[in-house]
Structure 1
Amino acid sequence: MQVIDTSQWPVVKLDVLKQVHLDPKNVRLGTADAKVEADIIEDLFVNEDAFSLVEGICKVGYLTHETPVALKRDDKYVMVEGNRRLAALKAIQNPMLVPNYQARITACAATLADRSALSKIRVMVAPNQTEADQLIAAIHTGNLRKPWSPSRQAAFFQAQIDSGKTFEELLSRYPTINVRKFVFRAHIMNLFRSVKYDDPHLQDFLTTPKWARGLSTLARIFESKDFLDLTGLKMDENGRVSKTTSDDVFKQIATEIVQGMYAENINTRSLNSVKSPRYTQLMKTLRQIVTDAKETGVADSNSHASAQTGSKSGATPTHGSQPDSEKGTGTGGSAPADSTGDKDDASDNQDKPKKHSNARKKKQRNLDLGQIKAPDTYPEALKVLLGELSEIDVQKFPNATFLMIRAVLEKSIKAFAEAKSVDIRSTGNNQKGYVQLGDALKWLLEYVKNNGPRHLIQVIEGVRTGKLVTYTNSGDALNAVNHNHHFEVDPDQAHAMWSSIDSIMRYVMKP
């Protein structure tokens, strides 16, 4: 492997307007091999957002930690790495180079104490195009620099707050960075950590790298309008936050989310959109928690707490002050707040755990479809049916749920077979040319026996015959609820049926 050694490349200082030129062969350009520099600079501003560099340079200065690379062509210096920077510097020296941005560039440049200090730029001079191309490829395609994870980004700004920086100071210190977003994320993590979970497994989970890596999953929840509307979390311009849910209700909400992340049925795959079955199911569950709390009259207790995000003393609010995410991200400018319970006497709190414990033990209203996502190649009708199944209230409509489970199971097996280019009818599993649930299960059993995994054999056999499970977990019961007008099931039996086919459903969703 050839080592790219730039230590011997000369470094020169060039006038940005007179001595160094934009590269007409720059791969960024939408204008193929542009010959006129005016066209190149316009392209970089329109298509590569060079204006954001103008703003950054004028606000925080020109950063010199990375030296751009030039090459001599026909006795002229041409920038081969750093064209956006050069375009920005040229525009600062002469805003008329970019007519459509002239007023904005002029306004930014007016804030500079000495514009002439940016009139020259230090560049490395590559010996030839080949070595220049090797360096450019290594920089842009080699992924040599590992980007910070979302949790690491949030942790950086949390550390700034912990060291005593106020929210206003951070906004001023990092004008080109979306501070609100990262501080919001940091406080969200703190908010969930501050909850005293009843299950010690969940308490320990929040100290693990797995939890930290799950911030992207958590962000899909807390940045959603549904979640912010539900909790009433918002932040004012001074960094003070408030919420409409009580600490106890937020504890139930947080427990539901953390439990799902711990069990791995809440992740970026299952929450791939606000229309995904798992997202829909989660929001219904969270709404039910809030509704149940309102019915018991405890939803609004302790709900108006607010706090300043950071202080001069360096003390971060122990359990609160969540700045809101950035404007324009669909979060509605809201953010989580204090979730700490009041330090009441033990006697005052004796009845509360029982009340909320009972609320948490209420029957689950929706089936858990967190790990069930139809592949893109499966029919749209099946995807729609899965979405409807995830939303149905099992407690109110157990028999309708049972009927939908039957339909989903049969259709999913057929979609799986179709993805394998198999016509189940041609395998002999049919009744007068029609493939019914029993035929689909029999074919799947044969397929798994021949191809694995073997652990599914008993599961499929149990559902198909009912010999290894209770009757209401069998295929015959699924047929009975569809055909027998005297047969019915209750919500617990509907949940049990879904549990019995969960591993089958996960398997057929991965053809």
Structure 2
Amino acid sequence: MQQIEFIPLEKLKLDNKNPRLPSNFNNKSENDIIEWMLEDESIIELMLAIGQHDFFVGEALLVVKNGDGFTVVEGNRRLTSLKLLSNPSLATIRVNKVKQVLEETTKRPKSIPCIVFDSKEQIMQYLGYRHVTGIKSWSVASKAKYLYSLLPTLKSEGIKSQSIELAKKIGSKSNYVKKLLVGYKVYEIIKDNNFYKIPQLNETTFHFNYIPPLYSIQI
């Protein structure tokens, strides 16, 4: 069983392949990710909670070694909040709200509880259960993007066999996994066609939930 390690905040890096991020963020900088995260009001609330009560060891970040630092695979919202508490100048939006949080809080965690894994693949099953099947659910789009990203790691071929294999790994039903995989493939086609130039339709406004389960599409 992995033990909790306390890692300096400056050695922790945001994951630009986080399934919750837009797909065009794969090569974005940490500052870009922080700005995107800050658009969500809950980051301010999370900053306030950590700044008032400190960082709870039971919410340890899940990380993998990356050069001389660590990439946070699970816990990017918490890491964003920690970075903003430590360095509020990182905020390019909601600047006044970030400043207000700093004025109202005193805790500035510098050594962060983490669980270190050898690879992202080792975290896969836990993340799948926690966010796709379990109590801390991602959006439908994030679930589908995450599962689709795992296809290259599977031994089986074909949508049916892959759905069964993934379902076993995360403790879900294969039909549900299949719907997510096929739905994401449909979404990719729509995105590749520039959302068919429909006004105001883009990656952030598209409602993934409305994609029908088109099982005939090959992945």
Do the structures match in fold with TM over 0.5? yes
Residue in 2 that maps onto 1:106: 99
In the TM superposition, residue 83 of structure 1 has moved relative to its aligned partner by: 0.3
Residue in 2 that maps onto 1:122: 113
For 2:105 and 2:89, locate their aligned partners in 1 and report how far apart those are by CA, in whole Å. Answer: 17
For 1:114 and 1:129, locate their aligned partners in 2 and report how far apart those are by CA, in whole Å. Answer: 30
Residue in 1 that maps onto 2:84: 91
In the TM superposition, residue 35 of structure 1 has moved relative to its aligned partner by: 2.9
Cα pair distance change 1:75/1:132, threshold 3 Å:
farther
Is the 8 Å Cα contact of residues 34 and 40 (structure 1) preserved in structure 2? no
Per-residue Cα deviation, 1:126-173 (whole angstroms, up to 9, x for no partner):
121111122111211122579xxxxxxxxxxxxxxxxxxxxxxxxxxx
Residue in 1 that maps onto 2:15: 23
Residue in 2 that maps onto 1:53: 46
For 1:145 and 1:52, locate their aligned partners in 2 and report how far apart those are by CA, in whole Å. Answer: 18
Is the 8 Å Cα contact of residues 13 and 123 (structure 1) preserved in structure 2? yes
State the SS of the aligned residue for 1:99.
Answer: coil
Counterpart of 1:126 in structure 2: which amino acid? F
Counterpart of 1:109 in structure 2: which amino acid? L
Counterpart of 1:134 in structure 2: which amino acid? Q
**Larger relative strand fraction:** 2
Is the 8 Å Cα contact of residues 71 and 77 (structure 1) preserved in structure 2? yes
Counterpart of 2:113 in structure 1: which amino acid? R
Per-residue Cα deviation, 1:17-55 (whole angstroms, up to 9, x for no partner):
x21100010111124314311011111111473222112
The answer to whether the aligner puts 1:80 opposite 2:88 as a matched pair is: no
Residue in 2 that maps onto 1:381: none
Per-residue Cα deviation, 1:406-449 (whole angstroms, up to 9, x for no partner):
xxxxxxxxxxxxxxxxxxxxxxxxxxxxxxxxxxxxxxxxxxxx
Is the 8 Å Cα contact of residues 51 and 106 (structure 2) preserved in structure 1? no
For the aligned residue pairs, the C-alpha RMSD in angstroms reads 2.2
Higher relative contact order by CA 8 Å / sep ≥ 6: 1 or 2? Answer: 2
Per-residue Cα deviation, 1:179-202 (whole angstroms, up to 9, x for no partner):
xxxxxxxxxxxxxxxxxxxxxxxx
Per-residue Cα deviation, 1:204-252 (whole angstroms, up to 9, x for no partner):
xxxxxxxxxxxxxxxxxxxxxxxxxxxxxxxxxxxxxxxxxxxxxxxxx
Q: TM-score, normalised by structure 2?
A: 0.56
Is the 8 Å Cα contact of residues 22 and 83 (structure 1) preserved in structure 2? yes
Q: How many residues align?
A: 136
State the SS of the aligned residue for 1:124.
Answer: strand
Query: Which protein has the larger Cα radius of gyration, Structure 1 or Structure 2?
Result: 1
1:179-198 paired onto structure 2 within 5 Å: none
Is the 8 Å Cα contact of residues 48 and 84 (structure 1) preserved in structure 2? no
Q: Which runs of 5+ in 2 are unaligned?
A: 138-219
1:369-384 paired onto structure 2 within 5 Å: none
Counterpart of 1:94 in structure 2: which amino acid? N
Is the 8 Å Cα contact of residues 55 and 108 (structure 1) preserved in structure 2? yes
2:122 to 110, 121, 131: 131
